[in-house]
Amino acid sequence: MRNPQQIIQAIYNRFALRANGGPIGIGLIGIGGWGVSNAVSIMRSRRFNIAGVYDIQKEVAHRFANRFTTKCYGQIDDLLAEPAIQAVCITVPNHFHVDLVKTAADAGKHIFIEKPLASHPNDCRALGQYCEDKKVILQVGHQMRRDPVFREIKHILETGDLGRPLFAQGVYTLNRRTRDDWRWNPESCPGGSMEQLGVHLLDVLAYLLGSPLSSQGWARNIPTYSDEPDWGYISMSFVHGVNATVSTSFSSPSHLCFEVFFERGRLATDGKTLSVASKEGGLKTYRPRGTS
């Protein structure tokens, strides 16, 4: 049974569809692992319609189009020229992001693109300005801040029940054993594990604590699967004297841990379960509502 908030959202969606003349046409660019995941989420919403698909692997694109009864495009320019497509969902390796965002913006399409927006800060700023000048919406897929457990941490932080936050730390590792994975390649993913994994925790920290005042970091090689630097570390300072660290790796077994230390307690999560320790109430562990 749906809760009242879900019912209200469904009613809003229905009226929004009528007001806008129907669902928004989405063009998919890239339908690998995460591309398919994004496509499934799009198809679950009545507000969107997959109006076309492109992938560099033509057979993959054709299979997807046939299965879900949509149009397969042999060229990106043809997809972007389709009037029925109002926005694109881009899910491709990082080194293609800059050119694809500009090309889509030139075509007047609104853009959802998987994180990171780009591998270098200057490119990120330039793309934001480029899309603003083209009057198109640019949205980056930072989904972790929307996970129920991090929304719950934000709520607890805002209540002030545990006092002032003092320090936060996050560790995110994901074992990628194959050398041919593009994420090991410094040309396609120069930031390595920090660019792919750490960006999630960096965004969560910005969501919880605001923009950092300063930061410093390093990358080290763990000679397991690649000669490229793998273990990444960043230390940051925020307003009110709050400090934080983020560590990432592609060589260690998959693991996620995020903690925030307060004057009167501590929060810890693995992304699903939240543990709240306080001086007054002992230890409480639970899964916030909406956690899958």
pLDDT band at 12 (very low <50, low <70, confident <90, very high): very low
**251 or 83, higher pLDDT:** 83
Model pLDDT, residue 206: 96
| 292 assigned to some structural domain | no
Contact present, 26 and 54 (Cβ < 8 Å)? no
pLDDT at 107 over 50: yes
Mean of per-residue pLDDT scores for the chain = 88
15-19, 128-132, 139-143, 280-284, range with greatest mean pLDDT: 128-132
pTM above 0.95, yes or no: no
Write the pLDDT tens digit of every residue in 141-187.
999 999 999 999 999 999 999 999 999 999 999 886 555 666 666 67
**Which domain range does residue 24 map to?**
4-141
| 291 assigned to some structural domain | no
Can you list the pairs that 209-214 forms with residues at least 24 positions away whose Cβ atoms lie under 8 Å?
209/165, 209/168, 209/238, 209/239, 209/242, 209/244, 210/238, 210/239, 211/238, 212/236, 212/237, 212/238, 212/244, 213/237, 213/238, 213/239
Averaged pLDDT for residues 134-146: 95
- Would you state the structure tokens that stand for residue 267, as one six-digit string? 């929060």
- Which of 141, 159, 183 finishes a domain? 141
pLDDT at 231 over 80: yes
88 plus 21 within the same structural domain: yes
- Which of 87, 106, 141 finishes a domain? 141
pLDDT at 17 over 80: no
Q: Which of 287, 292, 277, 259 lies closest to 172, judged by CA?
A: 259
Contact present, 248 and 172 (Cβ < 8 Å)? yes
CATH number of the domain bearing residue 177: 3.30.360.10
108 plus 150 within the same structural domain: no
Number of structural domains the chain divides into: 2
187 plus 102 within the same structural domain: no
The Cα 44–Cα 113 span in angstroms is 19
Model pLDDT, residue 104: 99
Is the omega angle on the peptide bond into residue 116 within 30 degrees of 0, that is, cis?
yes
Averaged pLDDT for residues 65-83: 96
**106 or 67, higher pLDDT:** 106
- Which of 110, 141, 172 finishes a domain? 141
Averaged pLDDT for residues 101-114: 98
**261 or 93, higher pLDDT:** 261
- Backbone φ and ψ for 279, nearest 5 degrees, come out as -65, -35
